[in-house]
Amino acid sequence: MIDQTQRSIEDFLNATAQRSPTPGGGAIAALVGSLAASLSRMVAAYSLTKKTAPEARTLIEDAAVKLHRSDELLRALIAQDAMAYEAMTAARKAAQDDPSQASDYQASILAAIAVPMEIAGVASHALGVLNEIHTITNRYLHSDLGAAAIIAHAAAEAARFMVLVNLADLESTPMRERLTREINETVRHCRDHRVAIEGFVNSALEPV
């Protein structure tokens, strides 16, 4: 299997445009989340200067470490999404040929759902970290700050669709309901963080 993270940007985009299920929506959601985390890391990096107050420095340095970890996780999830999808596709075919394999197929659905659930969760975490420091970031990076927040929220919203489409084939109604609540709650947290950051950026950038 091709490691999507090792492709050039052009190759990745061309592969996405092909009549092929991978890379698909889940991988794109993870990539978008990683872009948001990377941009957030840049905001943090530019917010550390010789004039940064000690308390603010501690907060930003801690945020930078957390954002780096979020970035690493999201990059890994790009590849994991393709692997989970291919495993689910194989399990579906096996269950169609042999009904005794139905439980394995259900397990593969849960595994495929787990990836976009994690994508949304990591995006939410990164947004929360960004929200903790947004008022002390470098004012010249406020446009990037706002962009990062919007993009991270978009990644979570996209991941939500990937969860919902696979939930349709899950036999357990209680499990479907629980996972639906969880992904909706995660996305709501993302929206709250984005709104807070977006409001701050608009106030900072819009002419009086």
Per-residue pLDDT tens digits for 48-76: 999 999 999 999 999 999 999 999 999 99
Band (208; pLDDT cuts 50, 70, 90): low
The predicted pLDDT at position 134 comes to 97
Question: Rounded to whole angstroms, how far apart are CA atoms 129 and 57?
Answer: 14
The predicted pLDDT at position 16 comes to 87
Class of domain 23-205: mainly alpha
- Between 45 and 21, where is the model more confident? 45
Residue spans per domain, the chain: 23-205
Model confidence, pTM: 0.93
Q: Show the CA angle centred on residue 87, arms to residues 84 and 91, nearest 5°.
A: 135
What average pLDDT score do residues 88-92 get? 94
The predicted pLDDT at position 23 comes to 86
Question: Rounded to whole angstroms, how far apart are CA atoms 7 and 64?
Answer: 26
Position 3 pLDDT exceeds 90: no
Over the chain, what is the mean pLDDT? 94
Question: Rounded to whole angstroms, how far apart are CA atoms 145 and 152?
Answer: 11
Would residue 190 be called left, alpha or beta, if left means φ above 0 and alpha means ψ between -120 and 50 degrees? Answer: alpha
Question: Rounded to whole angstroms, how far apart are CA atoms 61 and 48?
Answer: 8
Band (8; pLDDT cuts 50, 70, 90): confident
**What percent of the chain lies above the pLDDT cut of 90?**
87
Residues 195-206 have pLDDT tens digits of 999 999 999 998
- Between 201 and 4, where is the model more confident? 201
**What percent of the chain lies above the pLDDT cut of 70?**
97
Question: Rounded to whole angstroms, how far apart are CA atoms 117 and 26?
Answer: 10
Question: Rounded to whole angstroms, how far apart are CA atoms 181 and 175?
Answer: 10
Position 1 pLDDT exceeds 60: no
The H-or-E segment that residue 18 falls in is: none
The predicted pLDDT at position 2 comes to 63
Helix/strand/coil (H/E/C) assignment for every residue in 121-151: HHHHHHHHHHHHHHHHCCHHHHHHHHHHHHH
Position 33 pLDDT exceeds 80: yes
The predicted pLDDT at position 4 comes to 65
